[in-house]
């Protein structure tokens, strides 16, 4: 049964091996380039020049690494679409499943072996790419201190392996229910992409209780932020860091708060944003930062310390594996009731 499943899967496996070889070669070259650039940046270190050199190094590779992280997520979705969805749907659509079921092989064993062979191949491929990408990007990740980034976190270390397993099992179960290959592939792609969006934005922030603190919004703190306001004109600050925990994952921030704990009025905020007193202050937000800094404002911040990174890796992996196991159990139960 395993040999028969391998023969059916070998074309996809050989194509995947070719793609994997190219991807690994590129990541190996990228990792060496990153290390050479990191060594050059460290050689320039000296006071303010060091910070500038490391910032230039980080910016040089950040877009590339974000693109690769997004690409890995897309590849995992395609694994579910092209490996998982047709796995059973094509057999059911063509009627070839009856030949196996009328022999000594039980339906559950037939499905379990298919899931085992395809899932193992997906896990090995995802693990190899993730390991090389993690190695290649490690100097940039160390400098940026942004390992909890939505895209980056899901492409590092052990999490992608569980994503690959879920993709295969999800596609297989969808194919089992839909029983037609092309609709199953379309549904799998949409469902897995939606799941990848849901987990980091809704599930991941609640895997562990967040720490809370307040951050005084002085002019200097405002100038270190990435953005002020949003399209609605709300008094919000984006892209902050905590001085006491610069590598922490900021999972939530309040609007700008006045000393009595109330949100700053939009009129007052927009006044500083659009027409601050002209002081000629330097910095990213200049006079606006001085205007807001003089109001004695603060933020309520929820965050996860950087020391919890591996806890989140383990918990998210366990969550994906639990969902995968439930889907596999459902598939094994459902296949006994097919007619």
Residue 298 main-chain phi, psi, to 5 deg? -150, 165
Torsion, Cα 171 177 179 180, to 10 degrees, reads: -60
Q: DSSP character for 154?
A: T
- Burial classification of residue 21, based on how many CB atoms lie within 10 Å of its CB (0-12 exposed, 13-18 middle, 19 or more buried): exposed
Torsion, Cα 264 265 270 275, to 10 degrees, reads: -90
- The answer on pLDDT for 3 being more than 50 is no
Q: How many CA atoms lie within 13 A of 93 on its CB side?
A: 15
Mean pLDDT to the nearest integer, 21-47: 88
**Alpha carbon distance 152, 69 (integer Å):** 6
**Alpha carbon distance 196, 237 (integer Å):** 26
**Alpha carbon distance 288, 228 (integer Å):** 10
**Alpha carbon distance 132, 212 (integer Å):** 35
pLDDT for the residue numbered 276: 86
Residue range 317-326, pLDDT digits in tens: 999 999 999 9
- Burial classification of residue 232, based on how many CB atoms lie within 10 Å of its CB (0-12 exposed, 13-18 middle, 19 or more buried): exposed
**Alpha carbon distance 235, 257 (integer Å):** 9
Tell me the whole-structure pTM to 2 decimals.
0.85
Mean pLDDT to the nearest integer, 243-247: 83
CA dist 80 → 6, 174, 221, 310 (Å): 17, 10, 45, 26
pLDDT for the residue numbered 68: 94
**Alpha carbon distance 218, 292 (integer Å):** 8
**Alpha carbon distance 188, 176 (integer Å):** 12
pLDDT for the residue numbered 43: 82
Burial 5-16 (b: 16+ CB within 10 A, else e): beebbeebbeeb
Q: Nearest to residue 185, comparing CAs of 201, 202, 168?
A: 168
Mean pLDDT to the nearest integer, 290-318: 93
* 238 DSSP β-pair partners: 227
Residue range 177-225, pLDDT digits in tens: 998 999 999 999 999 999 999 999 899 999 999 999 999 999 898 888 8
Residue range 133-180, pLDDT digits in tens: 999 999 999 888 788 888 899 999 999 999 999 999 999 999 999 989
* In the chain, where the domains are located: 2-206, 211-307
Mean pLDDT to the nearest integer, 27-47: 87
pLDDT for the residue numbered 102: 63
Residue range 91-131, pLDDT digits in tens: 877 776 666 666 667 888 888 888 998 999 999 999 999 99
pLDDT for the residue numbered 50: 77
């Amino acid at each position: 049964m395993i040999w028969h499943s391998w023969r059916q899967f070998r074309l996809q496996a050989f194509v995947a091996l070719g793609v994997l070889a190219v991807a690994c070669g590129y990541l190996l070259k990228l990792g060496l380039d990153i290390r050479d650039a990191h060594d050059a940046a460290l050689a320039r270190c000296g006071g303010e020049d060091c910070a500038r050199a490391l910032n230039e190094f980080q910016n040089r590779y950040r877009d590339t690494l974000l693109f690769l992280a997004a690409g890995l997520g897309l590849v995992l979705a395609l694994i579910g679409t092209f490996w998982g969805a047709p796995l059973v749907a094509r057999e059911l659509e063509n009627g070839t499943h009856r030949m196996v079921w009328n022999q000594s092989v039980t339906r559950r064993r037939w499905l379990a072996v298919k899931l085992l062979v395809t899932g193992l191949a997906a896990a090995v491929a995802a693990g190899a790419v993730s390991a090389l990408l993690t190695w290649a990007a490690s100097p940039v990740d160390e400098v940026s201190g942004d390992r909890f980034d939505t895209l980056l976190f899901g492409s590092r270390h052990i999490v992608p392996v569980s994503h690959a397993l879920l993709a295969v099992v999800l596609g297989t179960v969808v194919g089992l229910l839909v029983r037609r290959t092309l609709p199953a592939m379309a549904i799998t792609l949409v469902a897995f992409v939606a799941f990848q969006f849901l987990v980091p934005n809704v599930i991941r922030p609640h895997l562990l209780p967040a720490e809370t603190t307040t951050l005084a919004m002085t002019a200097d703190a405002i100038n270190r932020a990435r953005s002020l306001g949003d399209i609605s004109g709300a008094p919000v600050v984006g892209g902050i860091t905590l001085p006491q925990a610069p590598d922490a994952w900021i999972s939530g921030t309040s609007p700008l708060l006045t000393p009595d704990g109330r949100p700053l009025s939009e009129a007052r905020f927009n006044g500083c944003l659009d027409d601050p007193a002209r002081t000629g202050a330097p910095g990213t937000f200049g006079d606006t930062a001085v205007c807001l800094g003089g109001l004695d404002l603060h933020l309520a911040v929820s965050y996860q310390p950087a020391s919890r990174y591996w806890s989140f890796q383990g918990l998210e992996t366990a969550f994906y594996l639990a969902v995968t196991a439930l889907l596999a159990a459902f598939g094994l139960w459902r296949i006994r009731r097919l007619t």
